[in-house]
Structure 1
Amino acid sequence: MTIEQGIWKLGDKPEKLKPQGLADEGMLEDQIMKDISILSQDWLLIGRQVRTDFDKYIDLLAIDANGTVIVIELKRDKTSRDVVAQAIDYASWVVTLADYQLIEIYQRFAKSYQRPHASLEEAFEDKFGITLDSVSLNENHELVIVATQLDTSSERIINYLNEHAQLSINAMFFAAFEDLGNQYLSRAWMIDPDKTPQTSVKKARKEPWNGEFYASFGDNRPWELARRYGFIAGGGAAWYSKTLAMLSEGDRVWVNIPKTGYVGVAEVTGERCRSDAFLVRTDHGDRRLVDITSVSEYPQIHREIGDDEESAEYLVPVRWIVSFPTSQAWSEVGLFGNQNTVCKPTTPKWQHTVTRLMQKWHLDTPELNY
């Protein structure tokens, strides 16, 4: 299928503008940098000449309002088949990217090319009117080949991948024209963009556990009491309390309050125990926490649970290395989050999260380094 583009000047007699070959297909990259709507008004450019782990460079990288990542590859002086194969190769790398890595790609891009927004969060909200944390980054991806023309074999390959391999790959053809010294571009999609399949991404990439535990301190539990007396907690059902047993004396745990942010890191000083047996040190000696708190302060430990071990509240004693009130909780897009009360994360995002928290809280001390 050959796509022919033309522009006519309207008047008494339509006059076809003179086609002008693109001296350098790479000039499109500069034009796209200035205005991404040349390709699509629904995209946000986040990277240029993005280096992959196998030391190749993606021409342009973009995302849309749904968090879909778009790999944009210019044909330049490559053969048609080579550029299609290269785009698919790049997709094999893009599919592994965690959201924090996309955020870092944008930060480098913004710094190198003086973009109006320094962070992806700001750029995304300005472009689409919604917050970045309201979408799932890189759950889908698309490939777009930018060229003046492709051979028929490459076009057949692109159609096959869309129809039978459910890979969202498309081509955009550009043509240049001249009129009275003015230059114009026209474009045409090979396939209607609304008809290309969405490529779902299942990111199962894992890393060795780094020895750091994650804890979720939620369900309206009294964070200030936990800071004062040194504990993390979970209960109400076995699913919430049993993971606390993963913690042993000497373990380090990073604490997050869901929908609020990270609030502290602590060293575990004892084993999990039921709340009615949890002792805290006071000016009058060791006392049971349940005896020195009111129902309004900590309702979960004042419920009548009797011998129902599964619904009981459980606590683990800790020594806070640092902790902060909820007003100083810290969060940013790309940090690890989980509903489990305690877990041992093995995703790349977890190492990134610990590194960012250490930077944020100035915890670059020898005992906190791996």
Structure 2
Amino acid sequence: MNSEGNLVIIELKRNKTPREVVAQTLDYASWVQQLNYTDIIEIYSERNPGKQLEQDFVDYFQTDLPETLNELHQLIIVSAELDPATERIINYLTNFGVPINALFFHYFKDGDNEYLARNWLIDPNKVEVKTSNVTTNKTGKAPWNGKDFYISLGDGDYRNWEDCRRYGFISAGQGKWYSRSLNLLKPGARIFACIPKVGYVGVGIVQEEVVPIKEFQVMVNGVNIPLLDADIHVRMDTDVDDPDLCEYVVRVEWVKTVSKQEAIWEKGMFANQNSACKLRNQFTIERLTEHFRLEEEN
């Protein structure tokens, strides 16, 4: 697997005829193409007992596991040399969009010094261009359970997590790019709120669809009042009359919450810049279910 979550098939050629080595490589590819997100996670767990792909991916590539895996794959035949027939077959296949290439290693010795030289049959950039129009594998996206959403909750100048806990809401604003994804949230959806670069702080159930902040009310001492009139930590009335820049709010019934100082984060957990998106990362869901003891609620 490479850093983009795509799979690479490497076939080592030794004492095989051209047809055998190419046919075997293509056979592997036909199997790899069918692997979906869940298949890949399960295969990794079977090969590496007790380990999680999400966490090991972060260790190796220093970035989070992509939400979509195996959209594309590469085929590489490794050998000391290739006969003309194999080269001809590989060149033919790349012209028709098959992402196949050959890699040669040559050993040299000069006195006490030893060298290993590497050369590609075809410039990898040219192979990428030739195969860029090939239809990608649409099975590689992690399955969604139909109910869970990730929420990126900026805690700072425009909203405060303790206010969200106290009054039962999440919000986003300062531009349509930030607020429009809240339209994904419908009553009954389960959300996992995460403060960027801090961790997950709450899980709750959406009660109402998103509204501009000036329309959002909260219960205080048995009376409904505008959130903007409530005792809150930060001013949320910036650009309140501008439909593009104002804060938008979604009412939430919190199931479990923790303070910002107690935020939950483990290597490999899902994070995203969107204010709201579908949470497909099963590792994140499983770990948060344990941390928040959600199974006890069932």
**TM-score band w.r.t. shorter chain:** 0.5 to 0.7
Counterpart of 1:216, as a letter, is I
CA distance in 1, matches of 2:227, 2:47: 52
**1:272 paired residue number:** 210
Distance 1:148 1:359, change over 3 A: farther
Which segments of 5 or more consecutive residues in structure 2 lack a partner in the other structure? 108-113
Does the C-alpha gap of structure 1 residues 343 and 119 become closer, same or farther in structure 2, counting only changes over 3 Å? Answer: closer
- For 1:141 and 1:268, the matched residues in 2 are separated by 39
Q: Distance in 1 between matches of 2:171 and 2:191?
A: 12
Structure 2 distance, partners of 1:293, 1:276, is: 15
TM-score, structure 1 as length reference: 0.57
1:354 partnered with 2:288:
no
Q: Aligned in 2, Cα 1:326/1:192: closer, same or farther, shift over 3 Å?
A: farther
Q: CA RMSD in A?
A: 4.6
Partner of residue 101 from structure 2, selected from 146, 169, 174: 169
Instruction: Give the corresponding residue for 1:132.
Output: 63
Kindly report which structure 2 residues correspond to 1:246-261, keeping only aligned pairs within 5 A, or say none.
Answer: 246-261=184-199
Instruction: Work out whether residues 79 and 102 of structure 2, in 8 Å CA contact, stay in contact via their aligned partners in 1.
Output: no
TM-score when normalising by structure 2:
0.68
**1:294-309 mapped onto 2 (5 Å cutoff):** 297-299=233-235, 301-306=236-241, 308-309=242-243
Structure 1 residue 318 displacement after superposition = 1.1
Kept in 2, the 8 Å contact 1:141–1:168? The answer is: no
Q: Cα 1:88–1:325, aligned 2, differ >3 Å: closer, same or farther?
A: farther
State the AA in 2 paired with 1:317: R
Deviations 1:139-160 (CA, angstroms, capped at 9, x unpaired): 7753222356655322211233
1:205-220 aligned at under 5 Å gives the runs 205=139, 209-219=144-154, 220=156
- Partners of 1:88 and 1:210 in 2: CA distance: 33
Is the contact made by 1:106 and 1:120 (CA closer than 8 Å) also made in structure 2? no
> Paired residues, what number?
281
Structure 1 SS opposite 2:295:
coil
The residue number in structure 1 matching 2:8 is 70
Amino-acid identity (%): 34
Q: 1:31: which partner in 2?
A: none
- Residue in 2 that maps onto 1:316: 250
CA–CA separation in structure 2 for the residues paired with 1:195 and 1:208: 32
Structure with larger RCO (C-alpha < 8 A, sep 6+): 2
Q: Deviations over 1:249-278 (max 9, x none)?
A: 322222233444433221122343332343
CA distance in 2, matches of 1:247, 1:195: 41
Contact map agreement 2:213 2:247 (CA 8 A) in 1 = yes
Q: Which amino acid aligns with 1:330?
A: W
Rg larger for:
1
> Within 2, Cα distance between the matches of 1:266 and 1:158?
54
- Is the Cα contact below 8 Å between 2:213 and 2:240 reproduced in 1? no
Structure 1 unmatched runs, 5+: 1-61, 126-130, 176-183
What is the CA–CA distance in structure 2 between the aligned matches of 1:254 and 1:146, rounded to whole Å? 45
Amino acid corresponding to residue 56 of structure 2 in structure 1: S
Worse-matched range after superposition: 184-193 or 257-266 = 184-193
